[in-house]
Chain A
Amino acid sequence: KQEVTQIPAALSVPEGENLVLNCSFTDSAIYNLQWFRQDPGKGLTSLLLIQSSQREQTSGRLNASLDKSSGRSTLYIAASQPGDSATYLCAATGNQFYFGTGTSLTVIP
């Protein structure tokens, strides 16, 4: 069974810093990997989706990479802002969608 792990579980950084969130998965036979953001009491907002044939995707200040062979994906956030504070979840898609436990990010003004 696919297991998805996210490290760190929580992260606190000063505004303006660049940061990296990590996602690892045990089964490399994935269809795609998707990064989401969840604000407290809200649903999930899709940030980036990387198909299995791709290595990375970029949207604004966000860049996500995928290395299937090592079972890793990273989400890079450039020039962090207080509005980036949220929980970030990754999901690996195989026969099902497998979610990581999330990284709670706090950006301090």
Chain B
Amino acid sequence: GAVVSQHPSWVICKSGTSVKIECRSLDFQATTMFWYRQFPKQSLMLMATSNEGSKATYEQGVEKDKFLINHASLTLSTLTVTSAHPEDSSFYICSATPGTDTGELFFGEGSRLTVL
């Protein structure tokens, strides 16, 4: 299957700093990538849909100025958590679809963010 890579897998930062998480599709081009947040023992919560070359579409309740998403190329999308606070600590996961007829979705390994 297709491979999606996330980096970093684990990051700890101080409150008030910004953190960037990268999501790369390694062996396919992804016009659309998705960013999720997952709290312990809960399912995925879609944060935003990232489209290459255009602005991301944010889900209701997600602060677009806090969670900056950039999809500058067909293989890379980034999520920047700006002015991070402890309540932003979470597991962030990206996914991508090659856009084939099957619409199959492939996920990154996730990034654990801890804000002190």
Contacts and interface: CB of A to CB of B under 8 A. Distances in A.
A99 B44 contact: yes
Interface in B100-116: 101-110, 112
Interface string B1-35: 10010100000000000000000000000000010
Contacts, number: 51
Contacts of A32: 102-104
B106 to A, nearest CB: 6
Given A89-B44, A99-B44, A44 B107 contact: yes
B10 to A, nearest CB: 9
A74 interface: no
A45 B42 contact: no
A36 interface: yes
Given A43-B6, A44-B95, A51-B102, A36 B107 contact: yes
Interface of A: 31-32, 34, 36, 41-46, 49, 51, 89, 91, 93, 96-97, 99-102, 104
Interface of B: 1, 4, 6, 34, 41-44, 46, 49, 91, 93, 95, 101-110, 112
